[in-house]
A and B are shown apart, each in its own frame.
Chain A
Amino acid sequence: MIEIPVIRWGQPYESMDQQPVVHFETGEELARMHQANGGLIKMDMRKSARARDTLRQFSIDQLCEMVGKAADLYMESTLPLGNGTQTPQEFCRIQSATTGLPEHMCAFNMRKNAFVLKQMKPLLEALTRGLPTEILSRGYGMEDRGVMLSYQATTNVLGLVLPSNSPGVHALWLPVVPLQIGLVLKPGRQEPWTPYRMFEAFKAAGIPPEVVSIYPGGSDCGPAVLESCNRSMIFGGAATVDQYAGDPRVQAHGPGFSKILFGDDMVDDWEKHLDLMFDSVFANSGRSCINASSIWASRHTEEIANALAERLGPIAPKPMTDPEAGLAAFTMEGAAEAMNNQIEEKLNEPGVTEVTAKYRDGDRLVQHERCDYLRPTVIHAESPEPFLANAEYMFPFVSVVKCPQKDMLKKIGPTLVGSCLTEDEAWSQQLLDATNIDRLNIGPIKTVQLNWLQPHEGNIIDFLFRNRAFQNSPPPAH
């Protein structure tokens, strides 16, 4: 039995409280996680300045090199895990066994994380818009054009309250240590694996372990992280995002409501973009915030919905070890059933039709003894008004919405990724000006295709640093 301790500034701490982590299909206990308590986290955060001081003993370039080395260790090495060890294959197996994500998707997420670590230097260069890194380290510096710049870190550590079911989000915090800021991770109950493996890879690559804390724990731990870190990220539903809206200390990541928008100039060629739509909806089992949850067009919506349903409808659950497995399991009791019930209820509203049912041999909800699945679902919506026209669920679910182009930007609501198929210059300008779209793709780009040299849902540099005025000599007379 693997026992995994709390990590307090790099030091293992064995708690009196432990929780089992179980295999979602068999119920087998795979590990025991030691549990932190909120007070312990608050107590530790009094020493958070030491994390940044320690990291500033290295240059950002040196730290980028170290995380590059950590990428190889993370991908290829047998690393310590609590009182045991873990190979990369064991990592994928156990992550799948607790999150319900097929093993090949776990391996994909692993490669994505390693890629981000490997590309850290160009990534930071892109995110800082070419800012000399010593300006971030020292707090100020002179640009080539003779202008003084100052960037002040807004926190010594970044706190993260991580989700249980989506290993994809971990790439978001990987640039933090290279930016000389400490990490305070509260892992999700079913996905402690990436934080612990990454910690060990960092340590083996020469990064001082005392800059990282990992606090698995109960319901008081997340609030303790959020309360005691000057900057935090939290992952949750729309209610979580609403709760922290306007709080500059917290970046809340919720549903993406990512979309594909067809311009009137290109919608007649919709068949050419069927793969783009399919992948945007289906990749990573539709579980990511960057998966498309709706497709908007002024015409051909019935045909688009039908063509997608024909491809998505027959897809059924497969074993987690099957390289073709496309559907993730719901491991939390009742979650899939609740979503299914809501969809069934909302299908009673006028103007919405499920198109997938005729291509699916069986029900949407597939219940097993210890887990459930939801099979892909395509909805056609006559207008943006019905609830399901702009809903998001954690499985391949998409609504194809009929809406005039002139109304789309008013009706789509918040959109994390908008992939817009148009060459209409006037509409493109409106899309560029639309503040309700975060990441804008104009052209045939899948919503799930990320360029890590671009910020994802807010630039982490803007979140962790403050651009401010600084002078160390009187300004010239004017």
Chain B
Amino acid sequence: MVGIPCGTTLRNDRLSHSSERRPAVSTNLEQTVAAARQQLDEQTVKTVRLHFDPELGAPFWLEKAKTYDFDPLTDVNCFDDLKKFPLFEDDWLRGGPVTRFLPKKWHNEPKYVFETGGTTGTPKSRCVVRDHWIDYEEFSKTLPDEHFPPGSNWLMLGPSGPRRLRLAVEHLCQHRGGICFCVDLDPRWVVKLLKKGDVQGAKAYADHVIDQAITVLRSGHDVKCAFATPKLLEALAMRLIEDDSSIAEAGITGIFAGGTEFTPQWYRFCKEELLGPDVFITPTYGNTLMGLACGKPFDPADNFKITYYAPQPRAAVEVVEFDDYSKVVEYGGTGRVKLYTLTDELFIPGFMERDEGEREEPHEKYPWDGVSGTRPFHEIAKATTVGVY
């Protein structure tokens, strides 16, 4: 999906990288990879044309275009042409007016604003009309009905407030015909408690959150599905175990959980010890800018390795070299995660994520590059308080 000139096939791209690392993919997979690539190119052109449209485009990009030595409307004809844009600067997303990234086409629609956690300073914000719904409707297609029965109710255990997660999970649940019971966790308050060393306060707050989840589960709401952050899921499961019950006995059959704390070891611990054999859990990785990346379906041969695939073509990720963000690493290589958002509501040509990881081969279900082993980018990991959920 990356680093190739327009019109070149993926096969040629891989051969040009290294003949030794040529992936063992089937012809069928190669075809789906090529088709996905074509879809990404088309989405790129469509997105750029909207965001740089003189009448309907986004105020920010229309202003930026004046500084470029190329014309986005005519010179962007495929995904790789996005390399013509300078790197997207993190700080552009901080502060207002929040509608500057939203194409004027949507300015008269009801709007939401979502913010990131604020662990690296002033929160980054994003104005949205209905992208968060679409992201989760797309994600819904990846959930197995056997474990996430259509029509069943959900428990959403995680941050709401300025985060999009609550609304998005709730919409996913509604989209699948259920009612979502929500329990809030305010990560900014937990960060404050931890920064001042109030471990007891943080523990008391976590207990307060779990108390509410237990109340929902014991109130006859027929909850079968859940979203939870890894730490909250662990706390909920442990509380039920302490009470001689379990997640399975509480009636939950399917869970999706997300974040960099969903490590292979934690995945294994969940499957082998925490949840038991009857509860399905799938890793996801998402944020306000990208939507929801899906985890590669569990395969014992992977030894619990977690590989994420961005929701292409609405977003794409690359794993790029640490010292040159324009170069994609070899398959299996380690680099920083670079994000592209390509929706009708947001255009981001190359945002450097807080995470690093390894570049992974396309998968039959997700025929484009994936990323595994995501963890905080080593150069900024020390400066932030992570893992508060």
Interfacial residues, chain A to chain B (CB-CB below 8 A): 15-17, 35, 37-40, 42-43, 46, 219-220, 223, 226-227, 239, 242-243, 247
Q: Which B residues lie within 8 Å of A16 (CB)?
A: 263-265, 267-268, 303-304
> Is there a chain A Cβ closer than 8 Å to B266's Cβ?
yes
Provide the bound-state CA to CA distance between A124 and B264, in Å: 44
Provide the bound-state CA to CA distance between A219 and B263, in Å: 14
Q: Mark B239-272, 1 if CB is under 8 A from A, else 0.
A: 0011000000000000000000001111111000
Q: 15 pairs across A/B with beta carbons < 8 Å?
A: A15-B265, A16-B268, A17-B264, A17-B265, A37-B266, A37-B269, A39-B234, A39-B266, A40-B273, A42-B238, A43-B238, A43-B274, A219-B387, A223-B199, A239-B197
**10 more A-B residue pairs beyond the given contacts A16-B267, A37-B265, A219-B387, with a C-beta to C-beta distance below 8 A:** A16-B264, A17-B263, A37-B269, A39-B234, A39-B273, A39-B274, A43-B238, A43-B269, A226-B199, A243-B197
Provide the bound-state CA to CA distance between A449 and B267, in Å: 49
Residue of A nearest to B238 (CB): A42
Provide the bound-state CA to CA distance between A45 and B200, in Å: 19
Residue of A nearest to B261 (CB): A220
Provide the bound-state CA to CA distance between A43 and B242, in Å: 10
Q: Which of A37, A39, A219, A243 interacts with B199 by CB under 8 Å?
A: A243
Provide the bound-state CA to CA distance between A227 and B242, in Å: 14
The answer to whether B387 touches A220, judged by C-beta atoms less than 8 angstroms apart, is: yes
Q: Which A residues lie within 8 Å of B241 (CB)?
A: 43, 46
Of listed B197, B267, B269, residue having the most chain A CB within 10 A: B269
Residue of A nearest to B266 (CB): A37
Provide the bound-state CA to CA distance between A40 and B274, in Å: 9
Residue of B nearest to A43 (CB): B273
The answer to whether A37 touches B203, judged by C-beta atoms less than 8 angstroms apart, is: no
Q: Which A residues lie within 8 Å of B304 (CB)?
A: 16
Known: A17-B263, A46-B241. A40 touches B203 (CB 8 A): no
CB of B268 to closest CB in A, whole Å: 6
The answer to whether B265 touches A35, judged by C-beta atoms less than 8 angstroms apart, is: yes
Provide the bound-state CA to CA distance between A35 and B268, in Å: 13
Residue of A nearest to B197 (CB): A243
Q: Which B residues lie within 8 Å of A40 (CB)?
A: 269, 273
Residue of A nearest to B200 (CB): A247
Provide the bound-state CA to CA distance between A38 and B231, in Å: 9
Interface residues of B in 297-349 (CB under 8 A from A): 303-304
CB of B31 to closest CB in A, whole Å: 34
Q: Which of A39, A46, A242 interacts with B197 by CB under 8 Å?
A: A242
Provide the bound-state CA to CA distance between A40 and B200, in Å: 21
Provide the bound-state CA to CA distance between A226 and B203, in Å: 12
Provide the bound-state CA to CA distance between A46 and B387, in Å: 24
CB of B111 to closest CB in A, whole Å: 38
Smallest CB-CB A-B distances: 3 pairs: A16-B265, A16-B264, A17-B265
Interfacial residues, chain B to chain A (CB-CB below 8 A): 197, 199-200, 203, 234, 238, 241-242, 263-269, 273-274, 303-304, 387
Q: Which A residues lie within 8 Å of B203 (CB)?
A: 227
Q: Which of B242, B264, B269, B387 interacts with A39 by CB under 8 Å?
A: B269
CB of A459 to closest CB in B, whole Å: 25
CB of B74 to closest CB in A, whole Å: 49
Provide the bound-state CA to CA distance between A226 and B241, in Å: 19
CB of B147 to closest CB in A, whole Å: 21
Provide the bound-state CA to CA distance between A220 and B269, in Å: 14
Residue of B nearest to A38 (CB): B234
Provide the bound-state CA to CA distance between A17 and B268, in Å: 11
Q: Which A residues lie within 8 Å of B238 (CB)?
A: 39, 42-43
The answer to whether A37 touches B273, judged by C-beta atoms less than 8 angstroms apart, is: no
Provide the bound-state CA to CA distance between A242 and B238, in Å: 29
Provide the bound-state CA to CA distance between A239 and B197, in Å: 8
Q: Which A residues lie within 8 Å of B199 (CB)?
A: 223, 226, 243
Q: Which A residues lie within 8 Å of B273 (CB)?
A: 39-40, 43
Residue of B nearest to A247 (CB): B200
Q: Which B residues lie within 8 Å of A35 (CB)?
A: 265
CB of A153 to closest CB in B, whole Å: 21
Provide the bound-state CA to CA distance between A35 and B264, in Å: 11
Q: Which B residues lie within 8 Å of A223 (CB)?
A: 199
CB of B270 to closest CB in A, whole Å: 8
Provide the bound-state CA to CA distance between A121 and B276, in Å: 45
Provide the bound-state CA to CA distance between A226 and B264, in Å: 24
CB of A334 to closest CB in B, whole Å: 10
Q: Which A residues lie within 8 Å of B263 (CB)?
A: 16-17, 37
CB of B85 to closest CB in A, whole Å: 36
CB of A243 to closest CB in B, whole Å: 5
Provide the bound-state CA to CA distance between A223 and B264, in Å: 20
Q: Which B residues lie within 8 Å of A239 (CB)?
A: 197
Q: Which B residues lie within 8 Å of A46 (CB)?
A: 241-242
Q: Which B residues lie within 8 Å of A227 (CB)?
A: 203
Residue of B nearest to A227 (CB): B203
CB of A350 to closest CB in B, whole Å: 32
Residue of A nearest to B237 (CB): A39
Provide the bound-state CA to CA distance between A219 and B387, in Å: 10
Q: Which B residues lie within 8 Å of A243 (CB)?
A: 197, 199
Q: Which B residues lie within 8 Å of A226 (CB)?
A: 199
Q: Which B residues lie within 8 Å of A220 (CB)?
A: 387
Provide the bound-state CA to CA distance between A38 and B270, in Å: 12
CB of B38 to closest CB in A, whole Å: 37
Provide the bound-state CA to CA distance between A219 and B269, in Å: 17
Provide the bound-state CA to CA distance between A307 and B268, in Å: 61
Q: Which A residues lie within 8 Å of B274 (CB)?
A: 39, 43
Provide the bound-state CA to CA distance between A226 and B197, in Å: 14
Residue of A nearest to B304 (CB): A16
Q: Which B residues lie within 8 Å of A242 (CB)?
A: 197
Provide the bound-state CA to CA distance between A17 and B306, in Å: 13
Provide the bound-state CA to CA distance between A40 and B197, in Å: 24
Q: Which A residues lie within 8 Å of B266 (CB)?
A: 37, 39
Provide the bound-state CA to CA distance between A43 and B197, in Å: 25
Q: Which A residues lie within 8 Å of B242 (CB)?
A: 46
CB of B243 to closest CB in A, whole Å: 12
Provide the bound-state CA to CA distance between A38 and B265, in Å: 11
Residue of A nearest to B270 (CB): A39
Q: Which A residues lie within 8 Å of B200 (CB)?
A: 247
Provide the bound-state CA to CA distance between A38 and B234, in Å: 9
Provide the bound-state CA to CA distance between A247 and B197, in Å: 14
Provide the bound-state CA to CA distance between A220 and B234, in Å: 12
Provide the bound-state CA to CA distance between A43 and B241, in Å: 9
CB of B187 to closest CB in A, whole Å: 16
Residue of B nearest to A17 (CB): B265
